[in-house]
Amino acid sequence: MYRITKEFHFSASHQLFGLPPEHQCARLHGHNYIVVVELTAAELNAHGFVRDYLDLGDLKRYIDDTLDHRHLNDVLGDDCVTAERMAKHLFDWCRARWPEVTAVKVSETPKTWAEYRP
Protein backbone atom coordinates (compact mmCIF):
# COMPACT_ATOMS: atom_id res chain seq x y z
CA MET A 1 0.00 0.00 0.00
CA TYR A 2 1.27 3.45 -0.90
CA ARG A 3 0.61 6.30 1.52
CA ILE A 4 1.09 10.05 1.15
CA THR A 5 0.31 12.93 3.47
CA LYS A 6 0.15 16.68 3.14
CA GLU A 7 0.10 19.25 5.93
CA PHE A 8 -1.91 22.47 6.09
CA HIS A 9 -2.01 25.29 8.66
CA PHE A 10 -4.60 27.83 9.77
CA SER A 11 -5.52 29.95 12.77
CA ALA A 12 -9.04 30.20 14.16
CA SER A 13 -11.08 30.62 17.32
CA HIS A 14 -13.71 28.41 18.93
CA GLN A 15 -15.52 27.87 22.19
CA LEU A 16 -16.82 24.63 23.69
CA PHE A 17 -20.18 25.08 25.36
CA GLY A 18 -21.51 22.78 28.07
CA LEU A 19 -18.20 22.47 29.91
CA PRO A 20 -17.77 23.62 33.51
CA PRO A 21 -17.13 27.40 33.62
CA GLU A 22 -13.64 26.86 35.03
CA HIS A 23 -12.63 24.66 32.06
CA GLN A 24 -10.23 26.64 29.84
CA CYS A 25 -11.98 25.48 26.66
CA ALA A 26 -15.31 26.93 27.86
CA ARG A 27 -13.86 30.38 27.21
CA LEU A 28 -13.50 31.85 23.74
CA HIS A 29 -9.98 31.00 22.59
CA GLY A 30 -7.95 30.23 19.48
CA HIS A 31 -5.42 27.83 18.08
CA ASN A 32 -2.85 27.58 15.33
CA TYR A 33 -4.24 24.43 13.76
CA ILE A 34 -2.30 21.84 11.80
CA VAL A 35 -4.23 19.53 9.47
CA VAL A 36 -2.69 16.43 7.90
CA VAL A 37 -4.59 14.63 5.16
CA GLU A 38 -3.59 11.05 4.35
CA LEU A 39 -4.24 9.30 1.04
CA THR A 40 -3.50 5.67 0.19
CA ALA A 41 -3.63 3.45 -2.88
CA ALA A 42 -2.68 -0.10 -3.69
CA GLU A 43 -1.50 0.99 -7.14
CA LEU A 44 0.05 4.20 -8.40
CA ASN A 45 -1.55 6.18 -11.21
CA ALA A 46 -0.01 6.57 -14.68
CA HIS A 47 2.26 9.36 -13.36
CA GLY A 48 3.54 7.31 -10.43
CA PHE A 49 1.42 9.09 -7.80
CA VAL A 50 -1.16 8.07 -5.26
CA ARG A 51 -2.56 11.50 -6.15
CA ASP A 52 -0.78 14.60 -7.44
CA TYR A 53 -0.11 16.93 -4.49
CA LEU A 54 -1.23 19.81 -6.71
CA ASP A 55 -4.78 18.40 -6.59
CA LEU A 56 -4.79 19.03 -2.84
CA GLY A 57 -4.58 22.76 -3.49
CA ASP A 58 -8.40 22.70 -3.32
CA LEU A 59 -8.13 21.85 0.37
CA LYS A 60 -5.75 24.74 0.95
CA ARG A 61 -8.21 27.09 -0.74
CA TYR A 62 -11.09 25.73 1.36
CA ILE A 63 -9.08 26.19 4.56
CA ASP A 64 -7.92 29.69 3.59
CA ASP A 65 -11.33 30.87 2.40
CA THR A 66 -13.57 29.18 4.97
CA LEU A 67 -11.66 28.41 8.17
CA ASP A 68 -8.59 30.62 8.48
CA HIS A 69 -9.00 33.52 10.92
CA ARG A 70 -12.67 32.66 11.51
CA HIS A 71 -14.74 31.67 14.52
CA LEU A 72 -15.29 27.95 13.89
CA ASN A 73 -18.54 27.76 15.86
CA ASP A 74 -20.05 30.21 13.36
CA VAL A 75 -18.53 28.53 10.31
CA LEU A 76 -19.64 25.01 11.25
CA GLY A 77 -22.84 26.02 13.05
CA ASP A 78 -21.91 23.93 16.08
CA ASP A 79 -21.47 24.67 19.78
CA CYS A 80 -18.93 21.87 20.16
CA VAL A 81 -16.20 22.33 17.56
CA THR A 82 -13.56 19.96 18.90
CA ALA A 83 -10.44 18.77 17.09
CA GLU A 84 -12.18 15.41 16.70
CA ARG A 85 -15.15 17.01 14.95
CA MET A 86 -12.87 19.16 12.81
CA ALA A 87 -11.03 15.99 11.70
CA LYS A 88 -14.34 14.37 10.67
CA HIS A 89 -15.56 17.52 8.92
CA LEU A 90 -12.34 17.82 6.92
CA PHE A 91 -12.28 14.07 6.19
CA ASP A 92 -15.80 14.26 4.73
CA TRP A 93 -14.89 17.34 2.67
CA CYS A 94 -11.77 15.64 1.29
CA ARG A 95 -13.30 12.21 0.73
CA ALA A 96 -16.07 13.76 -1.40
CA ARG A 97 -13.33 14.94 -3.77
CA TRP A 98 -10.61 12.30 -3.52
CA PRO A 99 -11.52 8.65 -2.92
CA GLU A 100 -7.95 7.87 -1.86
CA VAL A 101 -8.36 9.85 1.39
CA THR A 102 -8.10 7.47 4.36
CA ALA A 103 -7.60 9.79 7.34
CA VAL A 104 -7.39 13.37 8.53
CA LYS A 105 -5.52 14.50 11.63
CA VAL A 106 -5.99 17.84 13.38
CA SER A 107 -3.69 19.41 15.95
CA GLU A 108 -4.68 22.30 18.19
CA THR A 109 -1.41 22.36 20.12
CA PRO A 110 2.06 20.93 19.50
CA LYS A 111 1.30 18.04 21.87
CA THR A 112 -2.28 17.14 20.92
CA TRP A 113 -3.73 15.40 17.87
CA ALA A 114 -7.16 14.10 16.91
CA GLU A 115 -7.65 11.77 13.98
CA TYR A 116 -10.64 10.59 11.99
CA ARG A 117 -10.12 7.33 10.14
CA PRO A 118 -13.22 5.27 9.22
Active site residues: 25, 69, 108
14 known ligand binder: yes
C-alpha to C-alpha distance for 89 and 104, rounded to whole angstroms: 9
47 known ligand binder: no
Residue 77 pairs in a beta bridge with: none
Backbone angles phi, psi at 115, to 5 degrees: -130, 140
The angle subtended at Cα 90 by Cα 89 and Cα 94, nearest 5°, is 125
108, 82 Cβ separation under 8 angstroms: no
9 known ligand binder: no
Residues contributing to the annotated binding site for Zn(2+): 14, 29, 31
Residues contributing to the annotated binding site: 14, 29, 31
